[in-house]
Structure 1
């Protein structure tokens, strides 16, 4: 059951990214060079955090998953990601997708701390869905 849920989550994350591989339809968002590097670094950290969350869930370590989510993806983590400077260049929808992801990560952490694995997986879906929606709509290169 757990392996199936992990596979479904991974497929959901990447399925939308390959849907329009032949024709680029995403809105280009131009950041100054240093901020573009910061934004890409943030996205890589988000992916690493999601990987850590999934790994923790796979080993039934819900407190660890919650800790990763809150510290690296949650609402409080926005400040460490320099979102104030980055947000100046983001379209409204991109800002909203980012907020949705951070908010969903905080909610996931709260749910995971309660110790129910199935509920934690369900609470992770809005986190990854926000990522999919943003990456499907926007690009920086």
Structure 2
């Protein structure tokens, strides 16, 4: 049972990986992966704040670390040139979803905010299911 749980959702890598391989220069790849780790940390902070009923704080984290306001600080414009159009669109969809989440969270109602949070993670899942850098 433990082996089954450990292997659930694990994707294979290499020649049999069906995701599109996106070649990005190594320094840019490091930058992009660092941004994505920060995105994941931000989502975690959003969840912690949501659980504590701190929707305003969750909104601020989402907007400034994930939303459209985060693009300049993350250097998105120089990374976008290395991405296929579909990947760029998925990234933009995630950033827009984060800004929409921030607006929902500012309204103070947890359920619509949680639904909007799902749009952020769905965008992440879609991109990571379709693209890889290694």
Indicate whether the TM-score tops 0.5. yes
RMSD between aligned residues = 1.4
Per-residue CA deviation, residues 10-56 of structure 1 (Å, 9 max, x unaligned), is xxxxxxx9264474111111111110100000010000000000111
- Residues 33 and 19 (structure 1), Cα distance of their counterparts in 2 relative to 1, 3 Å cut: closer
Structure with max Cα Rg: 2
Q: CA deviation at 1:84?
A: 1.1
Q: 1:107 maps to which residue?
A: 100
TM-score, normalised with respect to structure 2: 0.89
Q: 1:122 maps to which residue?
A: 115
Q: 1:10 maps to which residue?
A: none
1:74 aligns with 2:67: yes
In 1, Cα distance between equivalents of 2:87 and 2:74: 15
Runs of 4+ in 1 over 2 A off after TM superposition: 19-23
Structure 2: runs of 5+ lacking an equivalent: 1-7
In 2, Cα distance between equivalents of 1:78 and 1:54: 21
Q: 1:33 maps to which residue?
A: 26
Structure 1: runs of 5+ lacking an equivalent: 1-16
Structure having the higher helix fraction is 1
Q: 1:18 maps to which residue?
A: 9
Per-residue CA deviation, residues 106-126 of structure 1 (Å, 9 max, x unaligned), is 000001001000111011111
Size of the alignment, in residue pairs? 125
